[in-house]
Amino acid sequence: MPGTSSTIPIIGMGIISALGNDLEATRERLFSQNPPMPALPTKIDTSLALPVFEVAGFPSRGSQPGGYSLQLLMHALDEALRNANLNLERGSKVGVCIGTTVACQLNSIPFYEQLRQGNMPPAEPLINYLEGNPAEYIRRKFGLTGPALTISNACASGADAIGIAATWLRSGVCDIAIAGGTDEINKVPLDGFNALGVCSPQPCRPFDSQRQGLNLGEGAGVIILSNKGQSQLALAGFGKTADAFHITQPDPAGTGLEKAIRLACEDGGIDCDQLAFCNAHGTGTIANDIVESQVFERVLGAGARFLSTKSLTGHTLGAAGAIEAIITLLLLQEKRLPASVRFQVPSPEMPVAPVAKETSLDNSKYALSTSLAFGGSNTALVLAVANGTNEPTKPSRVPCAKTIFAGDNALNQEQLAKTRSKYALRRADRFTTLAIAGIDQSVTTELPENTALLTVSAFGPHKTVFATLDGILDFPEDQIQPTRFSHSVHNAASSYIATAFGLRGPSYALTGFENPLEDALDLAQSLVATGQAPCALVVQVEEQGALTAVLPQICPQQYPVEPEEIVAVYKY
């Protein structure tokens, strides 16, 4: 049933990546005979000989809140607002949800170098980090009054931001939402992904038998969703699942990804065979591409039509889901797909292969974009070219969350040790252990498998971020500990919680400094109200460490983040 009430018009888009610095440049370059090629990084200092896809012709404006990632984001937002012909008035209730990985971690090496020597670190990197939380920055800049959440679900963040924005619109939280993702080439993920053995020393070749891994990229993508908008473009549906399998490895059976795709189609009121094509996550790593191609065959059939545009943009991490959603819409508008760049020889382990030559799409309305992340987080978006508008029926909202655990300083070492042993948390850091201990002490009945899981934290696992920086400072760049890096992302805790409690529903790691808990609780309510989950668990965690200890001295009273350990659990 195309055009059901769930379709949400996309009234504006903006994009910047190695493919081009705006929509038209991107559209043109997608089909160019001279596609962008990755090269050694010029914007960061690294000894690793790993090619990356940098944005060209958009120099950094130096040290500013949010760093280069925020500059990329504001560039894409500016285009999206012009594209939507939207003038954001101060005080308007517009929601902002932005995915990122780099912009929500304090991974400044000069800052940490001083801190670990016991010196007072420079204030600027910390202030830029606090003021540069992407979603909150946009809300402040335009004086908006809707929710603002920055999501850090690793490589699925940009797609998840779109799903969250759609959830707000469907549940009546706001009528317009800005959603997107942004990330810059940064030394920490480059060294980390290299340590994990997933970076290719050659230009990446997704789905090819000779693929050697991914190339990082950078960029930003922003879309503007509006319930009341008129547009040819729309988000028809989305699906979000967790694997509850492993911290870095995708579930080899691909069950979670398959479920996310089926949910997205169901949500959009279409059959999977109505999809014209899929813009795959397609990182070019050994494991990802096998799982994805097997799932595509199961869901889309032996004639599955798909490609990965990461061979044109690189893997832009927290921006990837948003950039690829926009590219998917451009391809639907163009009614054709480019040949998969550098794909030559199909891999024998893959039942289906990507499009090998330029392919025209006949009269197709729908396409899929998939995103997979560390920690087993799967997102599928169904994008559409369609005419007309509609206003969704707004569901009634359930009552407020119940605080079931407020464990400020209530978890002692013994309880934490018991938790570690009970849930086999060998590699989990203290941040994750705190979260699981809080749930263990408060959730007494078994949680339904599709329970939504929201973790919310200002600083996230910052001690593990610093431990990763220790590796970068102490060891040669190609010898840092991959386990530390993989646990430094905000959603590492979500992955452990999902595995410990068997949760395979929507899972979001949210972060901010302006009371993100309130918006997270509200989102939990919306997820239940829109039928995406039977119930929701919200877990707030802040851990104490070197950073929270110096915070009051560096920015006294500027940010009301308690330098206290906090574990709180809420359930709807």
Show contacts with another protein in window 513-542 (CB under 8 A): none
- Least distance to another protein, CB of residue 423, Å: 13
Active site annotation includes 281: yes
Assess 210 for contact with another protein (CB under 8 A).
Answer: no
User: Of 195, 225, 384, 500, which one interacts with another protein (CB under 8 A)?
Assistant: 195
Task: Quote the tokens at residue 232.
Answer: 């040819």
Q: What distances in angstroms separate CA 100 from CA 34, 321, 510, 567, one per listed residue? A: 29, 10, 10, 24
Active site annotation includes 487: no
Q: Which of 174, 265, 315, 462 is catalytic?
A: 315
Task: Quote the tokens at residue 220.
Answer: 């930003």
- Least distance to another protein, CB of residue 473, Å: 14
Nearer to another protein, 90 or 426 (CB): 426
The amino acid at residue 111 is F
- Least distance to another protein, CB of residue 53, Å: 24
- Least distance to another protein, CB of residue 126, Å: 29
Instruction: Looking at 253-358, list the stretches that DSSP marks H as alpha helix, in order from N- to C-terminal side.
Output: 255-267, 286-300, 310-313, 320-334
Nearer to another protein, 37 or 48 (CB): 48
Task: Quote the tokens at residue 24.
Answer: 């038209």
Residue at token pair 């994009």: 15
Task: Assign 478 to helix, strand or coil.
Answer: helix
Q: Which of 75, 281, 462, 490 is catalytic?
A: 281
CB atoms closer than 10 angstroms to residue 532: 22
Task: Assign 179 to helix, strand or coil.
Answer: strand
Q: How far apart are CA 328 and CA 366, in angstroms?
A: 9
**Segment interacting with another protein (CB under 8 A) among 79-87, 139-147, 291-299, 421-429:** 421-429
- Least distance to another protein, CB of residue 179, Å: 32
Quote the DSSP letter at residue 51. -
- Least distance to another protein, CB of residue 467, Å: 11
Task: Quote the tokens at residue 346.
Answer: 């199909």
Whether the Cβ atoms of residue 137 and residue 131 lie closer than 8 Å to each other = yes
User: Of 260, 261, 458, 480, which one interacts with another protein (CB under 8 A)?
Assistant: 480
Q: How far apart are CA 178 and CA 502, in angstroms?
A: 32
**Segment interacting with another protein (CB under 8 A) among 269-277, 436-444, 479-487, 501-509:** 479-487
Q: How far apart are CA 571 and CA 29, in angstroms?
A: 47
Q: Which of 97, 155, 199, 272 is catalytic?
A: 155
CA proximity to 499, closest of 410, 405, 424: 424
- Least distance to another protein, CB of residue 487, Å: 10
Nearer to another protein, 141 or 430 (CB): 430
- Least distance to another protein, CB of residue 202, Å: 15
Phi-psi region of 438 (alpha: psi -120 to 50; beta: other; left: phi over 0): alpha
Nearer to another protein, 357 or 426 (CB): 426
**Segment interacting with another protein (CB under 8 A) among 88-96, 351-359, 470-478, 527-535:** 470-478
Task: Quote the tokens at residue 99.
Answer: 């995915």
Q: Whats the size of the chain, residue-wise?
A: 572
User: Of 37, 44, 196, 555, which one interacts with another protein (CB under 8 A)?
Assistant: 196
Show contacts with another protein in window 391-420 (CB under 8 A): 420
**Segment interacting with another protein (CB under 8 A) among 46-54, 475-483, 509-517, 540-548:** 475-483
Nearer to another protein, 358 or 478 (CB): 478
Assess 495 for contact with another protein (CB under 8 A).
Answer: no
Residue at token pair 């891999």: 347
Q: Could you tell me how many helices (H) and strands (E) the chain has, helices first? A: 18, 17
Assess 482 for contact with another protein (CB under 8 A).
Answer: yes
**Segment interacting with another protein (CB under 8 A) among 17-25, 155-163, 176-184, 482-490:** 482-490
User: Of 246, 262, 397, 430, which one interacts with another protein (CB under 8 A)?
Assistant: 246
Active site annotation includes 155: yes
User: Of 50, 156, 161, 247, which one interacts with another protein (CB under 8 A)?
Assistant: 247
Please list the residues that pair with 371 across neighbouring strands: 379
- Least distance to another protein, CB of residue 111, Å: 25
User: Of 2, 110, 143, 197, which one interacts with another protein (CB under 8 A)?
Assistant: 197
Task: Quote the tokens at residue 459.
Answer: 């600083």
Q: How far apart are CA 77 and CA 164, in angstroms?
A: 17
User: Of 349, 391, 478, 562, which one interacts with another protein (CB under 8 A)?
Assistant: 478
What sign has the CA pseudo-torsion 143, 103, 405, 160? positive
Task: Quote the tokens at residue 525.
Answer: 């309510």
User: Of 311, 483, 525, 540, which one interacts with another protein (CB under 8 A)?
Assistant: 483
Assess 481 for contact with another protein (CB under 8 A).
Answer: yes
Residues 8-27, one symbol each (x = binds another protein by CB under 8 A, - = not), give: --------------------
Whether the Cβ atoms of residue 32 and residue 180 lie closer than 8 Å to each other = no
Residue at token pair 């990446």: 204
As to burial, measured by CB atoms within 10 angstroms (0-12 exposed, 13-18 middle, 19+ buried), residue 392 is middle
User: Of 114, 209, 249, 390, which one interacts with another protein (CB under 8 A)?
Assistant: 249
As to burial, measured by CB atoms within 10 angstroms (0-12 exposed, 13-18 middle, 19+ buried), residue 564 is exposed
Residues assigned a catalytic role: 155, 281, 315
- Using CB under 8 A, list all residues that contact another protein: 195-197, 246-249, 420-421, 426-427, 475-476, 478-483, 486
